[in-house]
Structure 1
Amino acid sequence: MPTQSIPFEGANLYVEMDGNADQSPLLLWPPGQSTLRVWDHLIPTLEKQFFVIRIDVRGYGQSSVSDLNENQFTFEQYARDAKYVLDLLGVRNTHVWSQSWGTRAAIWFCAKFPGFVNSAALYAANLDLPDVNQQREGTRAAAEERRVAGIDTGLDRVGFNEHMNPEAAQLTASALRKVLLSDVIDRLSMPVLIGTGSHDPNLRSSTEIANRLRNATLRKFEMVGHNAILEHPELALEAFLEFHQALTHSD
């Protein structure tokens, strides 16, 4: 697994790559307050089909910043960061997969570089500010349903929320309050999969987005709250791979 630390506009961006560089590129955006480690359990499957690029968003994980100037903690900056990394790696276009907070960043990235993104799987998509209490309640309710059904993810979550600079990580997350995603969502012209849990309060906004975008499909995940890739990774991965299989057949 090659890694790089790439300096760009006041940050050192930590990057991990998996899979063969000759395969279709796939950029992953993590949930809020999370490092690229949240995707580890899915990489063995993804790397068979994709050249997977993971970046610790500036301020998260092992990506450091030279100062705490709040002007750098924006989705606009994160989009520029990701595009710079991909350009440096020689990536000419990419697929995108995101979860929760990362979907907000991914929407901005896709809207800024629509011709660069071949497809986007946007999990727990939401154009409004989050209702964290409802998200937590939904996640608990979904967990109880899975317990009764005998579904246990058994994930080892080591490193998911370990940041070199916790203060910077808090500022990284604050980007969601600085933009109106409703102003840019209509720029997404690529095929889009929206995957949202049945217990996630974001489902309402996800449904509205799916109805709004001409090339979008909505997949509702039963027994899932706000974070499908961690709560029910098999279901989340299955939907993602089916989405890409359908894209291949439509070419």
Structure 2
Amino acid sequence: MATIKIAGGELNYRLDGREDAPVLVLSNSLGTDLHMWDDQIPAFTEHFRVLRYDTRGHGSSSVTPGPYTIEQLGKDVIALLDALNIQKAYFCGLSMGGLIGQWLAVNTGDRIRRVVLCNTAAKIGNDDVWNTRIDTVLKGGQKAMLDLRDASIARWFTTDFAEAESIKVKRITDMLANTSPEGYAANCAAVRDGDFRDQLTSVTIPVLIVAGTHDAVTTPEHGRFMQEHIAGAEYAEFSAAHLSNVQAGDVFTQRVLAFLTA
């Protein structure tokens, strides 16, 4: 683990894989950290130098004053690449990480070779949902994060997977319980305000969109919308809920690798 300086604090990151391999950036979902990608690392590092980081307000990165914006979080990625002297990289982000990926694809296509947008949407949820959640976690503190952890199981995984893979599910959901309420709320605001519905047609780099058949948060319809508005975008759908990289496992990993190495 290492850090770079960002406005108001530090961004925690980790590099795995051969130093001479092309760089793949992995961006976590709201309420998780860079370890949400642990299952993908053995396969991804066969082809890439994998750069994972904790989004501002998450994990071991600084909790700077909020609210945040997707633009701010996207610029954190560019700052990370600059600090490590990486001119161009591949990118894969899930949910909030997928919003960051959309910002990068729209605004910094010269820095991103290919982008994978997993379990995300051009616009996620509505203001009322996010404002209620922000208010709840700021008032309830860490107790509210524990309550969110318990509620997230049904959103992040199907019931049968949660029962069969309880240890794996606990490892992921504990990340949410350990997230700073202030950092979580600041990122909720970024997701609330992120809206790329009118900007996707400007994307010119190759894009793969990944959806989960049972994802009630960012549905397959959301994925199809992005595919229809991004020229040449590929689409893959797995039998999973919101965290398809965890639930679909090897099938997810191999489809993403096939796209990234095409």
Instruction: Give me the whole-angstrom Cα distance separating, in 1, the residues matched to 2:74 and 2:251.
Output: 28
- Which of 193, 211, 222 matches 1:178? 193
2:92 is matched with which residue? 97
Provide the aligned C-alpha RMSD in A. Answer: 2.5
Provide the TM-score with structure 2 as the length reference.
Answer: 0.80
Instruction: Give me the whole-angstrom Cα distance separating, in 1, the residues matched to 2:108 and 2:180.
Output: 29
1:114 is matched with which residue? 109
- Please state if 1:226 is matched with 2:223: no
2:79 is matched with which residue? 84
Kindly state the Cα deviation for residue 117 of structure 1 after the two structures are TM-superposed. Answer: 0.8
Aligned pairs for 1:27-38 (under 5 A) are: 27-38=25-36
1:157 is matched with which residue? 171
Name the CA shift for 1:89/1:217 in 2 (closer, same or farther; >3 Å).
same
2:48 is matched with which residue? 50
- Please state if 1:244 is matched with 2:260: yes
Structure that is richer in helix per residue: 2
Structure 2 gaps of 5+ residues are: 130-151
Q: Name the amino acid aligned to 1:68.
A: P
The answer as to whether partners of 2:56 and 2:73 remain within 8 angstroms in 1 is: yes
Name the CA shift for 1:138/1:6 in 2 (closer, same or farther; >3 Å).
closer
2:230 is matched with which residue? 213
The answer as to whether partners of 2:39 and 2:246 remain within 8 angstroms in 1 is: no
Kindly state the Cα deviation for residue 69 of structure 1 after the two structures are TM-superposed. Answer: 4.0
Q: Secondary structure at the match of 1:160?
A: helix
Instruction: Give me the whole-angstrom Cα distance separating, in 1, the residues matched to 2:102 and 2:59.
Output: 21
Instruction: Give me the whole-angstrom Cα distance separating, in 1, the residues matched to 2:156 and 2:38.
Output: 21
Kindly state the Cα deviation for residue 107 of structure 1 after the two structures are TM-superposed. Answer: 0.9
Instruction: Give me the whole-angstrom Cα distance separating, in 1, the residues matched to 2:76 and 2:260.
Output: 26
Structure 1 gaps of 5+ residues are: none
Q: Name the amino acid aligned to 1:208.
A: F
Deviations 1:122-146 (A, max 9, x none): 11131233388xx976756x443x5
Q: Secondary structure at the match of 2:175?
A: coil
Aligned length: 234
Kindly state the Cα deviation for residue 187 of structure 1 after the two structures are TM-superposed. Answer: 2.6
The answer as to whether partners of 2:28 and 2:34 remain within 8 angstroms in 1 is: yes
Instruction: Give me the whole-angstrom Cα distance separating, in 1, the residues matched to 2:60 and 2:156.
Output: 28
Provide the TM-score with structure 1 as the length reference.
Answer: 0.83
Name the CA shift for 1:188/1:143 in 2 (closer, same or farther; >3 Å).
farther
Instruction: Give me the whole-angstrom Cα distance separating, in 2, the residues matched to 1:229 and 1:28.
Output: 11
Instruction: Give me the whole-angstrom Cα distance separating, in 1, the residues matched to 2:236 and 2:179.
Output: 35
